[in-house]
Structure 1
Amino acid sequence: MVTGPDGALWFTEWAANRLGRITVDGAISEFELPGSEPHGLATGPDGAIWVAMESGGLARVMPDRLAGRFVVD
């Protein structure tokens, strides 16, 4: 788990190919990362959530604080 720039806790759901988010109010969101099997997480200085994939790749997730969505680069 890592704390994102939005103040929420972000976590991986490896076998489900998802990235999860828990707000300080306890609301849980899940985001599909098809075929990714995400493992590790880190928060970058640019505010991105970096996700390490089992395949060896990385995903850069940018939480959109205003729209409540996220973008995977």
Structure 2
Amino acid sequence: MYTTRVSGHVGAPRADVYRALVSAEAVARWRVPAGMSGEVHEFDAREAAGSVSRSLRGTGRHRQVGRAPSR
């Protein structure tokens, strides 16, 4: 099983940050490196059991990241 932890300070209200973390559309927009665009293919925001499958596009290349292991 893979775990990712991210920490930092976000200058926004907690409710806005929460919505950005549990919305596939928001994840596709804001969790993308500069110069790239993202597309979310599958998204499940359940705590401890969630998963995401998405692809990133940039500089003419296509790379899929975030495929959750089969359960």
User: What TM-score bracket applies, with the shorter chain setting the length?
Assistant: 0.3 to 0.5
TM-score for the superposition, normalised by structure 1: 0.32
In our comparison, the structure showing a higher alpha carbon Rg is 2
Structure with the bigger RCO (C-alpha within 8 Å, sep 6+) is 1
The structure that is strand-richer by fraction is 1
Q: Is the helix fraction higher in 1 or 2?
A: 2
